[in-house]
Amino acid sequence: RPGGGLSAPDARTSVVLPDKRSMNMARLGVLGRHLPFPEEAWIAAIRAQFTEKAAATNVAAFASGRAAG
HSE-CB at 29 with a 13 A cutoff on CA atoms is: 21
pLDDT digits (tens, 9 = 90+) for 25-69: 999 999 999 999 999 999 999 999 999 999 999 999 999 999 987
Query: How long is the chain?
Result: 69
Angle at 39 between CA 68 and CA 2, to 5 degrees: 55
Give kind and range of the element (H or E) at residue 69.
none
Q: What is the signed CA dihedral for 22, 29, 45, 61, rounded to 10 degrees? A: 30
Mean pLDDT across 9-27: 75
pTM for this one?
0.78
Classify residue 67 by its DSSP letter: H
